[in-house]
Structures are given as C-alpha cells and as structure tokens.
Amino acid sequence: MSPRTNTAPGTGTWRLGDLTVNRVGFGAMRLTGTAPFDRGVPRDRERSIGVLRRAIELGVNHIDTAAFYFSATRSANELINRALAPYPKDLVITTKVWPGRDPSGGWWWATPDQLRGQVEENLRQLGRDHLDVVNLRVPPSRRTGSIGEHFGALAELRDAGLIRHLGISNVTSGQLAEARAIAPVVCVQNPYGIGELSEDLALLRLCGELGLAFVAFFAIAGSGREAGPAARDSEAVYAVARAHGVSVAQVRLAWTLQQGPHVLAIPGTGDPDHLAQNMAAGTLRLSEEEMARLTAPPDLFGPAAQA
C-alpha cells in the first residue's frame, strides 16, 4: 500500500469517545454489489479491495460497515479484513447490530439476547478482538418505541470488553435521551442531507450541544437511500455545482459537513473515481448565500431540474 496522501484530514476531525476520526469517512455498503441487498451482480472483488486501500491512502480512518452488508458472493466485512488487516492503528471501524439477514438474504431483527451473537459475528468477520464502535440500528417500526432493553444488552457487552464505544442509529431525540440514561453514547448515525425535515435538524443540533458526533448517511443518495441518488435535484443544487465546477454529489456532501464541526459523513462507493470526488468534497466551501439557497424549499428557486 502506498503512503497516505491525506485528503480526508483537510475536513477536520471529531471524536468518537476517545477515538479521533476525520470527518469524511467511508461507508462499506456499496462494496458488495451493484444492488447491495439483493442477489444482483456482485462487484469485482479486487476492485472493491482496491477502493478500500485507496480510501486509507486518501486519509480515511473511519469505516462504517455491518455483518448484514453482503450480496450473493461478497461480504463487506470480509473485504475490509482482506484489504486492510493488519489494520492501521488509527483506523476506527464502526458496525451496526439489531438488523440481521439469513444466508438467503432474508431480514430478521435480533432480540436483546441475540445481540451478542451479532457482535461476535462482526468480530469473526473482521478478525478483531473487540469492536471500536457498535451502533444500535433501530428498526423503522420502533422509531417511536423504547430501545432500552436492546441498548442495555449492548452496554453489558461493552462492560465485558467486546465493544469499546456505543452509538445509536435511525433514532429520535427521545431515544437518544433514553440511551444516554443507560450508558455513554458517542455518536448518532441518522440519514441527513439536503431536504431533510426540521426534526432531523433539531436532533443534529442537539448532538452538537452534547458534544456528540452526528454521523450522516445517505447525504448523497437522499431519498434514493440504498438504491443510490434520487433521479431529481433542485435547480439550486445544480447551479451551485456549476458555479464550483464540481458534481452534485460533492455539493450535497459539502452542505452536510457545513452543518456543524460535529457532523461526519460516511459516503460509500465501489468506484475509485467517485471515492476521490467524495474525499475532495470535504474541502469544498460553500458561501452563506449558497448554504441558505440549498436549505430553502426547492420551489423558492424554481422547478426541480432533470438529473
């Protein structure tokens, strides 16, 4: 592996507990295939391994993954292990539990007692003795319910030494308060990007007040989520991209990062060119006028443009 070229550190750093990470990280979901959660065409194995190694060379020291990131013949955790072990000392690997998938790809949700098995599966696949950060990924059906029993089970695994730090994902501010009453929380990982709702912004700001990392996912994909970027963006996004000579994806990432110094992004890709663009987006600075224009409802600045 060639020496790091340190693009990611240009965005600044934040803390996940006692671990310092660059604000632009890498999401591993798209390493496994063109359609990560179905039995579609897998990505070329060596290309995915190369993307991971290039991410480290560009200064990435925060990778987000999960044992349920797999396609017909690819596993994100296995690819990370193959590409990066023995791991750089400053590399932080974050994973998620509660959702699971059986070998045929079917989804299931763990009981509190089953979370240990999910943690141990991540440990085996990654080849590690402990996990740096484990996020409790809350299912959509529980967005308004209690997460205390599940988070308490993870806190016990942290006390047992299997986990270093705990986070929560896809949550509300009330669930954040519930979790923090049980054990320390180092990050909230929620979808966030241009066009998000006011309650999402309120949670982002709350994390800033508490000194917690807010890790935004789907910052590029937006409403397209797992399928990738949505087909349409507002004309404002295209105009800002043209003004800076960058892609729409880079504008979306830059806007998200400029929401606060505690905001992190974990864009994922299996394409080395897109990886380089994502890393460069961290140094893109948008003006106050551009930020306001991108934050405003699309109809204030004209109809949405075709992608």
Report, as residue numbers or ranges, the catalytic residues: 69
Backbone φ and ψ for 44, nearest 5 degrees, come out as: -60, 130
Backbone φ and ψ for 201, nearest 5 degrees, come out as: -65, -40
| Nearest-angstrom CA–CA distance, 270 and 51 | 6
| Nearest-angstrom CA–CA distance, 50 and 75 | 15
| Token pair recorded at residue 75 | 């596993």
Distances (CA, A) of 35 to 69, 176, 191, 253: 11, 31, 19, 22
User: 135, 95 in Cβ contact below 8 A?
Assistant: yes
Q: Which of 56, 129, 68 is nearest to 95 (CA)?
A: 68
Q: How many CB atoms lie within 10 A of CB 222?
A: 20
Assign residue 138 a region: left if phi > 0, alpha if psi is -120 to 50, beta otherwise?
beta
Q: Residue 147: which residues within 8 A CB-CB, separation 6 or more?
A: 136, 138, 168, 171, 175, 178, 179
| Nearest-angstrom CA–CA distance, 42 and 83 | 17
Q: Which of 16, 14, 13 is nearest to 167 (CA)?
A: 16
Tokens 């194995």 correspond to 45
